[in-house]
Structure 1
């Protein structure tokens, strides 16, 4: 009997909001690795807003098409190795899609250290933590005493950005959805202020929270929050452009921010887009510093683990609706 392999297929490309009907769970044969490949068993699947962006067209990866296994990265265990340097039981992070087992090329993969909890390899020591670290420190370049604002502040990246800014001696303001999340940012993570964008008075509340303006803005959402922060920037301010989740799921905005070219010139602003792999040559030093902050208690790690491969579509939809605090992932088994 052929060993089974459950997987989730992107059944159709959404034209509006993403829903469970756009996916289907199916059984396939467990693959066999070719020469130079590893057979991997997914332990935890990483969920990110970028999963939705890939459905809209080509980004830093090829666009997704209907009928293919849904793309995504996973913390996985090597079951069988046909590549030098890897053995059964090794842990890797691989782009293997939403499936239980996958055969992937070993080239470009690195063994990960075993640790407890294992989930930290996907959150603070994974893409989320490194994105926060490099985006803030390399693109935002905050200085002690400056005001740093981060959107989606209760999410996987934003919650770490704000804490790193605090560690660096900055005044930190988070933008999040709901009074409960805002209270959590201040009471648990040490943000100086938190603004609830759902309260309907974003511009006024942001001005009250940042009376001296914004020096660094870490943007995860785009849209109205980006525009509001852009016009509150101080001269020589820096904006790290990480994502645009507000534009990933649903209709595109009718227009972008107006008057931007003149504003950028007169205030001498720097806007820098990035993806985390731009800085991988500095990864070891970044991980060492993140680890020191976690071990000292200066950086708190928040994770949101959903059980079961079959719940991955609903978990992604929930993330897009802002259900999660910290890094959301799915435990496969």
Structure 2
């Protein structure tokens, strides 16, 4: 029976995804920092579907926490407590408005949560994937500055990993929360494509995929928005207006099920960008900047430096 690890699988899109995966008989590893909610979700999935659900404490914004969780995951695989991973779903994400805040590692919180933590997680666990395994990154259409989605909360800037991680700056300008979010998601797509190229160069059959679930009001991305405003954003009239102006809207349940489809189905291709739109899952072109291989290589190199990846941690499959 396949085993899939997901970050942020206890709420929002991630929760709908794991419900679908569990219904298909997939064993789940739920990784997150809220252990009480993880345990509650795990118990409900076990009762409803009879699958094995394991919880793994992990804060995706904290490099030390990721290292501890990855080591625990590898130990569970070696002991037979869980099976080798069929997929890693890098799904957790958040927006943080206002002035930049920083993690214990000294890195800007949006960049660390949405991109850098998952970069390290994949490096540490890719050797634990099955030969035909898969990595799926939950991205966002807001990463593309040439689209309505990309203009809605702030156009992404060309990423400089060191500047984004250490200062939250673009040149001498401090990035507002919206741009910090969209730029972090631009990094996610660049990473997904670069990982695909490196896997193929190594002769591996592991897939790397980027996914945009569409704008959804009932997710953690609006955690800082007051309740009445959040309800208004999710209302039919406002969603109709958002769609009229060209925004890509998702559906909580269907977008989660689409993520599950990307995790297990054979009809998806590595190195591609998929989007939930108009009631269906489509492959589409991402932002022009995401196809810049030199930029992607620089982002990869700088990310390795930021997470301080040691020779012992470097995945055998990508050496």
TM-score w.r.t. the length of structure 1 is: 0.30
The structure carrying a bigger strand percent of its residues is: 1
**Rg bigger for which structure?**
1
The structure carrying a bigger helix percent of its residues is: 2
